[in-house]
């Protein structure tokens, strides 16, 4: 489950403030077209299926948030490229306050500029993730507030 803060401008995100929490950097390569999405991984291509849920508009403290429960599912290996596909290369930076925390702060970059950021709430149980209320879960709420504070956004 991803939580977006649309009222926070990308220009206000400074990776240097949270570099001590960086746990992983990865690169993702996608081919996008009207026919679908393909992820390129280790010289192989995989079609991506998106399991869609309605976006939820909510509030978190004084912030408007958007909750996205969509799931990207990597399907079988794909052997053909779509015509007129657009390539997208994304650098992903994952931050976590402590080992094993269920909240990660994610920064995505394209062409050396931040293109997206969000909080990722992880869960081993798919149904739990769908029913989490972040305002009622103290652990999730504290982690998000800690990141917002470290980023000097509240």
**pLDDT value of position 35:** 87
pLDDT at 117 over 50: yes
Confidence of residue 131 (pLDDT cuts 50, 70, 90): low
pLDDT in tens, 3-42: 999 999 999 999 999 999 999 999 999 999 988 899 999 8
Name which CATH class applies to 2-150: mainly beta
Q: 35-71 pLDDT, tens per residue?
A: 889 999 988 999 999 998 999 999 999 999 999 999 9
Query: What confidence tens digit (pLDDT) does each residue in 58-104 have?
Result: 999 999 999 999 999 999 898 888 888 999 999 999 999 999 999 99
| The predicted structure's pLDDT at residue 16 | 96
pLDDT value at residue 128? 47
The per-residue pLDDT for 133 is 80
Q: Distances from the Cα of 41 to the Cαs of 34, 77, 84, 149, in angstroms? A: 21, 10, 20, 35
- Domain boundaries, given as residue ranges, for the chain: 2-150
| Whole-number pLDDT of residue 10 | 96
The residue among 133 and 104 whose pLDDT is bigger is 104
* pLDDT, mean of residues 101-122: 97
């Amino acid at each position: 489950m991803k939580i977006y803060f649309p009222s926070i401008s990308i220009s206000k995100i400074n990776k240097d403030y949270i570099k001590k929490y960086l746990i992983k950097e990865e690169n993702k390569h996608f081919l996008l077209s009207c026919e679908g999405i393909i992820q390129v991984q280790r010289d192989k291509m995989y079609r991506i299926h998106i399991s869609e849920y309605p976006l939820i508009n909510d509030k978190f403290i004084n912030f408007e948030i958007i909750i996205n429960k969509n799931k990207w599912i990597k399907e079988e290996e794909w052997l053909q490229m779509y015509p007129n596909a657009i390539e997208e290369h994304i650098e992903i930076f994952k931050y976590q306050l402590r080992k094993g925390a269920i909240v990660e702060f994610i920064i995505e970059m394209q062409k050396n500029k931040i293109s997206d950021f969000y909080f990722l709430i992880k869960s081993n149980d798919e149904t739990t993730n769908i029913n989490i209320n972040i305002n009622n879960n103290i652990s999730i709420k504290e982690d998000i507030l800690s990141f917002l504070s470290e980023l000097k956004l509240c």
